[in-house]
Structure 1
Amino acid sequence: MIELALPSGDLQTALIAFKNGADGVYFGMRSFSARKGATNFSFEDLAIIRKYALENNKKIYITVNTLIADNNLDKVYALLAKIDFYGCDGIICQDLGVASLIKNCFPRLPLHGSTQLAVHTIEGVKVLQSYGFERVVLSRELSLEEIRKIRIACPDVELKVFIHGALCFGFSGLCMASYQSCNRSANGGACAQICRNYFTLDGTTDSKYYFSMTDLNAGQLIKQLDEMGIDSAKIEGRMKSKEYVASLTRYYRNILDDRDTIEDEEEVKTNFSRTFSTGYFEYKKDRLPLIDSEYSSHRGLLIGDVLYQNDDSIGIRSEYNLHPYDGICIFVPTASGRFVPFAFSLLQFHKDGGYYSISIPETRYNLTGLRVYKTSDSASHEKEIHDRLGKYQRPVDITFTIEKDRLIAQWEDVKIEKEFKTEEAKQKQALHDNLQKIFSEGGEGRFTLNTLKFNNNSEVSNPFLPLSVIKEMRRCFYEEINRLPLMVKPLPIIKSKETPLLPNRSLLSTTYPWNLEGVEVEGFTYYTLPPVTFNEEKLFKTVEDKLKTTINNRIGLNNIGQLNFALKHPEYEYFIDIYLFLSNRYAASFFTTILPNLVGGYLYPEFVNYEEPWPFTPTLCNDYKLPIFISRACFRHDSLSLPCKGCPQKSEFTITNQENSYQVLVKDCLTVVYKN
């Protein structure tokens, strides 16, 4: 059966997820995680959850899924070394330099490709698989049929699919809105949620949430993913509450087990829910819009309509039970086209059959006829788990040797010796069993016994070894290995090589950040491939035909799936373009190892400097302004609710937010948004 993987912003949430039926949890440590706002895990937390998972046949996945600048490589390397000590079932990463370090320096940590890598094609999955990734988290922008095709074409690599939670307007990993609007990095774990703000459409009075995606709710569709052989279903929400995680775990576990889910659905909606949709799973023309332009946050569970309103109360009819201090919200329409929430805590109410009379705060709003939602349930509270929880201890293989005049306990380079005169035992001892039992009691340190090998090199066939002596050897041995610092080898050396810089990035493309027509600069013809394509074969055929008409071709790669095209055509030169996110020297080394005909690359656009050594000289692209969004959501249809019939296939709009103006381009259902 498909794995159910839940988000965990802290240790208690992980334990509660497991208690409610999760197969696995994913979480970040307190640095280099794409959710800086979550509590995240300490290494003590990791030791606890690792032991719990091993003992209960559960899985833990750790996100190290931010982009790492050169000056943070030492820190992330030390972090990986600590994680490697405890172990986990997968490291979810976006940065290909980090992936390179994991593969070469920490090979026992399984590599999982983050959704931030924007893997949405067969070739993208194959490239990661060929490099050693055991699992790939696919982009959220894929339909069920597209996922099915990838599964069929890539049968022997694990695939993970998001099934529930927030959807970004911008394509997975490609969003620049936070950086351009407030100098915060979404790929650095500090998304400012620009897409949840409201904008005014030029030429109208409408001021709506044009980029606020509905929340994904796969519901019963998880069974189709299970049937097609998807390995893991992932739920978004590392910054959500324990109650949110618990209710979603029960909801999807009961779906998979063919049990009733009505109560679970109600809890899910109450704990946190925007307007729900099936996201891109059922993507087609004239679909229900994927944008909720009227409201961008938690709506809750619809419980009824306002029948009447008095000065200090309202009447509603509802089949749901309400409790004191439940959260209530009524969404009031405005002339701008969006809703404003009238929210309050349920303090006084009277129930008469299926009718409620509810006291409300003073308000100027006319509430009669409006819908009423429950946004929290005061009776719903997940108890924290405070059972005695042990900590993971690293198993070690100990060799215990009896010499003629001494005892030796050894693990790798650690050796404890004790002078001891070996004598014949008066009666036979179960010596190996005694050693095994006593050395298994390692205390609360970082290590415990895995196996014990016993050597008798004395001249005594049945040596006498008092239990007190064995215990003293055990104490000294564990004291010694627990004093050992965590051994971290130096970072791998990169050979520095100066290479010519690429042209200013602004010369290579105009309206869109890709260019399939070719542009000649200083004797070379430059092409830049699109970071998003849902028909790889057509794209590559178009590029192949075009390349035959020009000379001295250089091709910019913007998605991991394009590396195989480059390997297939070694007759051309290539460079790493702006969307393959060249963040550090190990990412650069990753690409130079794969592509011998690589002539350089553009530094990740949010970075303005780098630290030597690099295998080539990266070109800064501060002169080039990337779009804030590239989206599969069609602004014309999903944001403005215009029909697909009669669509001109190419549209342009202007929107504003406060003093900022934005250009929205729509072409063939793909939306690109620039900040003017």
Structure 2
Amino acid sequence: MKSEFHTGGMIMELLAPAGNWEAFLAAMGNGADAVYLGGQSFSARHYAENFNKERIDDALSYAHLRKKKVYVTVNTLIADHEFAMALDYIWDLYQMGVDAVIVQDIGLTHALRKLIPDLRLHASTQMTVHNSAGAVLLREEGVKRVVLAREMSRDELAKICCEVKDMEFEVFVHGALCYSYSGQCLFSSLVGGRSGNRGRCAQPCRLAYQLFSCTGDTPVASEGRHILSPADLCLIEQLGDLQRIGIHSLKIEGRMKRAEYVAVVTRAYREVLDSLAVDPGSTVSPELKKRLERIFNRNFTGGCFQMDRVGYLSPKRPNNRGIYAGRVVEQSRDITTRIKLTEELRVGDGLEIWVKKGQGPAFTVKDILLQGKRVSQAEPGDIVSLKIEGRAGAGDRVFKTYDSELMEDAQASIEAASRSKLPLDILVSLQEGEPLSLLISDGEGRQVKVKSPGRLQKAEKHPLTREVLQEKMERLGNTPFYLSHLSLMGEENLMIPFSELNETRRRG
């Protein structure tokens, strides 16, 4: 079911990231209305796998057949010597039929409006648009949508949506945050020579630091050493509010994330949007929120949208912390470790033990012993014995960092999307002395009519029966279609050569 949660006729778009083809399929197969991806050049995620032109063309074909959209990022600052190359590249994207190009460079934006006026442009969050004046300026440059800065509060978003008409607004609702202002951070450039505005951010904000006062050499006490590392944004409980204030598109961050992450997060937001379409007062279930925690989290925050000053940072860990799964009861000399579980545990899950000092053991569960018996899974409350590599002590906390069941479900959705085919209805018209006619339709209002080169004749041996036509029409090969329904109209006991019948089907 596609969400139609709206007020005043507006439908919010769910926009998912794709760093590679598998992630693209994950987004398509789990309810995204549109996908944003980067090419091999001028992308703010230089270290993602990204897409060459052939793969972009594949993505466009796949998405457009399913009435979904593809936006391509050209969201870095463009050097003078790159300008002509950037324009050539975007011209190719325009010719391919991309639904929009996401840009950061204002000079490039101005040039594109002059040179390719029909190309739809979206202003990247890297432009740091955070007020009505900025949005109006871009509207005058022909930009159709602005990805607003993540540093805006709920009231600031509402104000700009109210004041600026004839403009779409997009906001990030889930994923990694930047410690600095979107598009304005020079930290990576200064400490490592890798510019975030050129797609090469080294993420120095995720490193460990010590804070010193200006008056002494003693470190200032802090909750953790990762004092610049933000938690992950999660606005899944604010989607109704975002719709009410006038947001058009909900964006999930994650072009550097694995495809399974894209699948799980996209599906969660799709489910909430669909639920809101039925009942605008519906709430997000604890199980759904926990699903997001199970796939990846650094703790979640409402960010600037909710002015969450307390939970904005994740100073203890800069990476996936997983979910709390239990505590160590004891560890024997042969490092067999007994753990009392608070979560389900399966063979194949990944665990990490947080020890009191140093780096704790992190491992994949290969065997579970429960009351002396080998089992494939255990339940909350069970005390299990695991062989681990590394030392842990009684009372140490255990976190599940890889959920095998969740990953298998995500992988299944990706595989299903890779095999996904669209239904076709075919009407065969048969009239002696006339060409055989095929009317092929896809149920979405698109149809094509083709005729055989030769004319139908009375059959002496092999008439075109329903069974024969069904078998021939089902031969759709490597196309993205399958035959859903075959209808016949006209006379019986007619024939044309099978070679002509097959050629007519292929042309259709």
State if a TM-score over 0.5 links the two structures. Answer: yes
- Equivalent residue, structure 1, for 2:337: 314
Q: Give 2:384's aligned amino acid.
A: S
- Equivalent residue, structure 2, for 1:175: 185
Equivalences for residues 141-180 of structure 1 within 5 A: 141-180=151-190
Equivalences for residues 218-257 of structure 1 within 5 A: 218-257=235-274
The counterpart of 1:374, out of the listed 382, 396, 400, is 400
- Equivalent residue, structure 1, for 2:466: none
Q: Distance in 2 between matches of 1:347 and 1:40?
A: 34
Q: CA deviation at 1:348?
A: 2.4
Q: Distance in 2 between matches of 1:15 and 1:362?
A: 36
Structure 1 residues 261 and 128, CA gap change in structure 2 (3 angstroms):
same
C-alpha contact (below 8 Å) 2:25/2:418 kept by paired residues: no
- Equivalent residue, structure 1, for 2:289: 265
The C-alpha deviation readout for 1:271-325, integer Å capped at 9, x for no partner, is: 22111111111116xx424112111111012222333333313333334322222
| 1:342 maps onto 2:324 in alignment | no
C-alpha contact (below 8 Å) 2:232/2:297 kept by paired residues: yes
Is the partner of 1:267 in helix, strand or coil? helix
Is the partner of 2:110 in helix, strand or coil? helix
The counterpart of 1:363, out of the listed 390, 406, 419, is 390
- Equivalent residue, structure 2, for 1:387: 419
Q: CA deviation at 1:428?
A: 9.4
The C-alpha deviation readout for 1:413-446, integer Å capped at 9, x for no partner, is: xxxxxxxxxxxxxx99999x9x97379xxxxxxx
Q: Distance in 2 between matches of 1:19 and 1:192?
A: 31
Q: Distance in 2 between matches of 1:219 and 1:23?
A: 17
C-alpha contact (below 8 Å) 2:178/2:230 kept by paired residues: yes
C-alpha contact (below 8 Å) 1:315/1:355 kept by paired residues: no
- Equivalent residue, structure 2, for 1:89: 99
Structure 1 residues 360 and 430, CA gap change in structure 2 (3 angstroms):
closer
| 1:107 maps onto 2:117 in alignment | yes
Q: Give 1:280's aligned amino acid.
A: C
Structure 1 residues 355 and 149, CA gap change in structure 2 (3 angstroms):
same
Is the partner of 2:345 in helix, strand or coil? coil
Q: Distance in 2 between matches of 1:351 and 1:104?
A: 70
Structure 1 residues 388 and 17, CA gap change in structure 2 (3 angstroms):
closer
Is the partner of 1:44 in helix, strand or coil? helix
| 1:277 maps onto 2:301 in alignment | yes
Q: Distance in 2 between matches of 1:209 and 1:333?
A: 17
Q: CA deviation at 1:146?
A: 1.2
The C-alpha deviation readout for 1:431-485, integer Å capped at 9, x for no partner, is: 9x9x97379xxxxxxxxxxxxxxxxxxxxxxxxxxxx9xx9xxx9xxxxxxxxxx
Q: Give 2:295's aligned amino acid.
A: N
Structure 1 residues 79 and 146, CA gap change in structure 2 (3 angstroms):
same
Q: CA deviation at 1:59?
A: 1.5
Q: CA deviation at 1:160?
A: 0.2
Is the partner of 1:133 in helix, strand or coil? coil
Calculate percent identity across the aligned residue pairs. Answer: 36
- Equivalent residue, structure 1, for 2:199: 189
- Equivalent residue, structure 2, for 1:462: none
Q: Give 2:399's aligned amino acid.
A: Y
Q: Give 1:348's aligned amino acid.
A: D
Q: Where do 5+ consecutive residues of structure 2 fail to align?
A: 6-11, 276-281, 372-378, 423-432, 440-447, 453-499
| 1:437 maps onto 2:464 in alignment | no
CA RMSD of aligned residues (A): 3.0
The counterpart of 2:18, out of the listed 8, 14, 20, is 8
Equivalences for residues 492-641 of structure 1 within 5 A: none
Structure 1 residues 235 and 363, CA gap change in structure 2 (3 angstroms):
same
C-alpha contact (below 8 Å) 2:361/2:389 kept by paired residues: no
Q: Distance in 2 between matches of 1:100 and 1:135?
A: 15
Q: How many residues align?
A: 401
C-alpha contact (below 8 Å) 2:39/2:52 kept by paired residues: yes
Worse-matched range after superposition: 8-17 or 108-117: 8-17
Is the partner of 1:320 in helix, strand or coil? coil
Q: Give 1:304's aligned amino acid.
A: G
C-alpha contact (below 8 Å) 1:67/1:94 kept by paired residues: yes
Structure number with the higher helix fraction is 2
- Equivalent residue, structure 2, for 1:290: 312
The C-alpha deviation readout for 1:346-399, integer Å capped at 9, x for no partner, is: 122223662132324343443x22322111123323143433789xxxxxxxxx
Q: Give 2:419's aligned amino acid.
A: D
The C-alpha deviation readout for 1:331-352, integer Å capped at 9, x for no partner, is: 2344xxxx74531111222236
Q: Distance in 2 between matches of 1:52 and 1:363?
A: 47
Is the partner of 1:164 in helix, strand or coil? strand
Q: Give 2:362's aligned amino acid.
A: A
Q: CA deviation at 1:220?
A: 0.8
C-alpha contact (below 8 Å) 2:207/2:318 kept by paired residues: yes
Q: CA deviation at 1:105?
A: 1.9
The C-alpha deviation readout for 1:603-648, integer Å capped at 9, x for no partner, is: xxxxxxxxxxxxxxxxxxxxxxxxxxxxxxxxxxxxxxxxxxxxxx
Structure 1 residues 386 and 291, CA gap change in structure 2 (3 angstroms):
closer
Q: Distance in 2 between matches of 1:81 and 1:18?
A: 26
Q: Distance in 2 between matches of 1:341 and 1:105?
A: 57
| 1:204 maps onto 2:218 in alignment | yes
Q: Distance in 2 between matches of 1:261 and 1:56?
A: 29
Q: Distance in 2 between matches of 1:318 and 1:364?
A: 18
C-alpha contact (below 8 Å) 1:313/1:357 kept by paired residues: no
Q: Distance in 2 between matches of 1:204 and 1:104?
A: 58
- Equivalent residue, structure 1, for 2:445: none
C-alpha contact (below 8 Å) 2:350/2:403 kept by paired residues: yes
Is the partner of 1:234 in helix, strand or coil? strand
Q: CA deviation at 1:14?
A: 1.4
Structure 1 length-normalised TM = 0.55
C-alpha contact (below 8 Å) 1:3/1:233 kept by paired residues: yes
Q: Distance in 2 between matches of 1:255 and 1:309?
A: 43
C-alpha contact (below 8 Å) 1:214/1:274 kept by paired residues: yes
Q: CA deviation at 1:262?
A: 4.0
Q: Give 1:7's aligned amino acid.
A: P
C-alpha contact (below 8 Å) 1:48/1:389 kept by paired residues: no
Q: Distance in 2 between matches of 1:316 and 1:154?
A: 57
Q: Give 1:269's aligned amino acid.
A: E
Structure 1 residues 389 and 181, CA gap change in structure 2 (3 angstroms):
farther
Q: Distance in 1 between matches of 2:157 and 2:370?
A: 49
The C-alpha deviation readout for 1:101-132, integer Å capped at 9, x for no partner, is: 32122222211000000111111111111211
Q: Distance in 2 between matches of 1:278 and 1:28?
A: 27
Q: Distance in 2 between matches of 1:317 and 1:193?
A: 36
Q: Give 2:63's aligned amino acid.
A: A
- Equivalent residue, structure 2, for 1:620: none
Q: Distance in 2 between matches of 1:175 and 1:34?
A: 13
C-alpha contact (below 8 Å) 1:251/1:261 kept by paired residues: no
C-alpha contact (below 8 Å) 2:361/2:388 kept by paired residues: no
| 1:301 maps onto 2:323 in alignment | yes
The counterpart of 1:217, out of the listed 215, 230, 234, is 234
Is the partner of 2:91 in helix, strand or coil? helix
Q: Give 2:368's aligned amino acid.
A: F
Q: Give 1:363's aligned amino acid.
A: G
C-alpha contact (below 8 Å) 2:135/2:164 kept by paired residues: yes
Which structure has the greater CA radius of gyration? 1
Q: Distance in 1 between matches of 2:37 and 2:100?
A: 11
